[in-house]
Amino acid sequence: MSEIRKHRGDSRQDQPRGVARDTRSGGRGERRGGKRRTGPPGRDRYRRALRREAPLVVGLLLDDQDFALMTGYPSFHFAEYATYLRHLDGLLHSLHARGTHIAVTLFDPDAYHHYCESTRLPPDAPETRTRYIAEVTTTGPSIRYARQSMPELRSQLAHEADRRATWERATDALVGKGSCPDCGRDLAHCLFERASDTLLRIVEAVGPGGHHLVCSLPTDDGSPLLAAAEIDADPDGELRVAEADALVVCTIMAVSSVSAHTGGLVVRTTDPDGTETVRGWSLLAGEPRPLSEAEVFSAYCTDPVTGEPVPPEPGVNHRAGMPLPPPVS
């Protein structure tokens, strides 16, 4: 026994300093410089690289009314909306600084309540809120975080939420309309193609410049479909447009083809010299009819939601809409 103890002691003395065997791991673990290396070289580096490429979704309560609905849950630790926004802004800045791709999605308390009821998950639990955010981002509105200020971020998310809701309502109005009598294809598809062609003809008619286009259509429930798009037209005919906004505008124009209501389309053009001109068309059965100068003034100076008059802006010219060339057959 004494020789065995001596042999063990000698073996420890013969080992290089700073290296200790880990008998619990079968001798494979090492300790260098007082730190244990628990895996193959480069593993942490690879995981950090993957972590930077993994996207992250953050839910945002858009206004203080939505925030107030969440304060009833004890697990929701914020009591003031301003404090919530300040800490959320700090979190987003911190994550962005690490190179993380961040999507900010709308956290809707009412939709969250229905989600908890349908899934039978406890609403007063951070884990449930995490699951809700992960699932809603696949179908709900979301935008990419790129160091926007919090007011700008909220404004962008609100616009995206409104755009998506309008598009869904307009799309629902086109569902189940049957086949096109002219070509036999899906009627909704044909109406959308015709609306896209109409939009291009209008932009060509008003000419080069920066165009702010607004399309509205009354509905039976009293809540009009309303969408806007920014279009920049170069003198050589090249167009720059946000496709998501143009998609909604064209969808509403397509709905006007199957609606008993008369819609409207107003284009505000800013010329290179800064002059602003407003023109308009009515939409009946999907066909644009040029409005007179007086009709344009009335349409542009009336709130499309409330119907109340809106004071005209100084320095804006109101002009009649131009007749359009026939659609492409």
Which amino acid belongs to residue 301?
C
158 falls within a domain: no
Per-residue model confidence as pLDDT tens digits over 262-284: 999 999 999 877 889 999 999 99
**Widest pairwise Cα distance in the chain:** 113
29 pLDDT more than 80: no
CA gap 259, 190 in Å, rounded: 15
327 pLDDT more than 80: no
Contact 116, 128 (CB under 8 A): yes
Instruction: Output the pLDDT for position 83.
Output: 97
Query: Where residue 249 falls among pLDDT bands split at 50, 70, 90?
Result: very high
137 falls within a domain: yes
Same domain, 124 and 197: no
Instruction: Output the pLDDT for position 173.
Output: 92
180 falls within a domain: no
Per-residue model confidence as pLDDT tens digits over 290-307: 999 999 988 778 876 677
How many structural domains are present in the chain?
2
Average pLDDT of the chain is 84
Instruction: Output the pLDDT for position 2.
Output: 37
**Enclosing domain of residue 277:** 187-318
Cα dist from 136 to 123, 130, 133, 153, whole Å: 15, 10, 5, 18
Per-residue model confidence as pLDDT tens digits over 53-79: 677 999 999 999 999 999 999 999 999
- Nearest-CA neighbor of 148 among 93, 82, 83? 93
Same domain, 191 and 307: yes
Same domain, 283 and 197: yes
